[in-house]
Amino acid sequence: MTDFKPNVVLVTSDQHRFDCLGYSGHACVRTPHLDQLAASGAWFSRAYVDCPVCIPQRTTWISGVQSHRYGSPAYNEGFQMDRAREDFLGSLMTAAGYQTYLIGKRHWHTPVSFRAGFETVVPFSVLGDRIRTERGRPTPNETGIGANEMSPAMSHLPPELCSTDWAVDRCFDFYSRYRDRSQPYFLWLSLTDPHPPNVVHEPYYSMYDGSEIPAANIPDWCEAEDCPLALYEHREVYNGPRMNEDTLRKARGVYYGKITNLDHQLGRLFGQLHADGSYDETWIIYTSDHGENLGDYNDFAKSNFLEASAHVPLIVKPPKSFAGKVGDTCDSLVSLDDLLPTLCSIGGARIPSDVTGESWLPLLKGESGYSRTFVHGQIERSHMFIEGKYKYLYFAEDGAELLFDMEADPDERRDLSGDAVLVEPMRQRFMEHLMEERHADLVDGELVNENHPRPPLKELRARCAKGLRSFGMNGM
């Protein structure tokens, strides 16, 4: 027996879709350091979030409880999770003997000042204050591109004042000034990129100008008259006028550039771990809170359970001494409510009894013990149920359904919901699961259908004309 506890580095990004890495086979995105991380660890090819929008998914990370189970599967800034302070991620790892240090974004269903039990938090508000002081302006955003817009623009800031570069610099502060070498550490680097504004400095702004940018994936079903209401409204209200072909190509290229900048900055962090001789004996986990539609389905942002939005990258690199899989692809279906129990298992921390996820350690060891056979997710009134090779989507607003064979059709181009032989078993399994959860969207053995009418396009355009919310850098 040994009391040794390994160091843990968790890196999370914001709005990084699953296929935008070299390791996943993307046509042009360059991510050499994340690719190397995956090659020295495990790449999870079927990792999904249970609520693909920032606040609820990030709250699932620190609680281990799916958002529809704790009460708010929606952005919902006013909601606060009812949970004992000692049952959040930072508290659990601190109690297990770790020095806990969080750099960057929080954005949880908790009070703004809440630290989730982390001993030290270095928020992005520190960067915002520095930018305002150095540039003499009340806001760091001088591009005119809002924090939820995908229109491309070059950054007006020098690299050291861009959020990803700045946050990695703070990691160096941790290693050189604040690390307590008498105990193991849990460092969470929580980045905001590649979330909009779709802005980055050179050379990343122009990096993909000459590349063969893949065309947007726009299946016929998403433009049909019976397209699910939630998808139709988000497309027409949230995004406004569609980009022309040249602008869309540039927007996608700048998004890729933000990811490559993120990767290069992580290369600096991984270099620090190599320099002090600890890389081989440190757990490193990389993932994201949701993806980005990036023009697919004629939509941007997230907030749906289509692949570009709900399927996320997940890399887990164990220590070299770990007796398990290295350089393998794990094709097991996993969900990001598994993150907290995995971290607690790594650190020997207590796992609260209400956690809905499971540790990935059995999967990494090639052992039995991971029991998940399906993933259920919910955002507002939209549901996802994945089991086997099928993904079933249900929309309670209008009773619409979608069904995809993810093995034969990973791009979701063919909706199979009109095939009763295929859809009825999936619908039944979904309903059985809702019954087990005593979910409000199953009443008297029937799925709730609110029969919302489809608003005229003119009405939706009028709502769009009122403008999108445009957030500046916050202190979350």
Q: Which residues, listed in sequence order, are joined to residue 376 by a DSSP beta bridge?
A: 385
User: C-alpha 342: how far from its chain's center?
Assistant: 17
As for how many domains the chain has, the answer is 1
Whether 94 maps to a domain, the answer reads yes
Structure confidence at residue 463 (pLDDT): 67
Report the sign of the C-alpha dihedral through residues 382, 289, 204, 317, in that order: negative
User: C-alpha angle with apex 448: 443 to 454, nearest 5 degrees?
Assistant: 165
Whether 451 maps to a domain, the answer reads no
Structure confidence at residue 241 (pLDDT): 73
The answer to whether the beta carbons of residues 156 and 142 sit under 8 Å apart is yes
Listed in order, strand segments (DSSP E) in 185-313 are: 185-194, 199-200, 282-288
Q: What is the pLDDT along the chain (476 residues), one digit of tens a residue?
A: 357 899 999 999 999 999 999 999 999 999 999 999 999 999 999 999 999 999 999 999 999 999 999 999 999 999 999 999 999 999 999 999 999 999 999 999 999 999 999 999 999 999 988 988 888 765 656 788 888 889 999 998 999 999 999 999 999 999 999 999 999 999 999 999 999 999 999 999 999 999 999 999 999 999 888 899 999 999 887 776 789 999 999 999 999 999 999 999 999 999 999 998 899 999 999 999 999 999 999 999 999 999 999 999 999 999 998 988 788 899 999 999 999 999 999 999 999 999 999 999 999 999 999 999 999 999 999 999 999 999 999 999 999 999 999 999 999 999 999 999 999 999 999 999 999 999 999 999 999 999 998 888 777 777 665 554 433 333 33
Instruction: List CB contacts of 451: < 8 A, sequence separation 6 or more.
Output: 398, 399
User: C-alpha 355: how far from its chain's center?
Assistant: 19
What's the CATH code of the domain at 343? Answer: 3.40.720.10
Determine how many CB atoms are found less than 10 A away from the CB of residue 24: 18
* Cα(223)–Cα(102) distance, integer angstroms: 43
Query: How many residues make up the chain in this entry?
Result: 476
Whether 402 maps to a domain, the answer reads no
Q: What is the CA radius of gyration of the chain?
A: 22
Q: Domain range spanning residue 13?
A: 7-368
The answer to whether the beta carbons of residues 7 and 283 sit under 8 Å apart is yes
Whether 265 maps to a domain, the answer reads yes
Q: Model's pTM, two decimal places? A: 0.95
DSSP secondary structure, 409-444, as one string: -TT--S--TT-HHHHHHHHHHHHHHHHHHT-TTEET
Structure confidence at residue 469 (pLDDT): 41
* Cα(40)–Cα(37) distance, integer angstroms: 5
* Cα(38)–Cα(32) distance, integer angstroms: 10
Whether 469 maps to a domain, the answer reads no
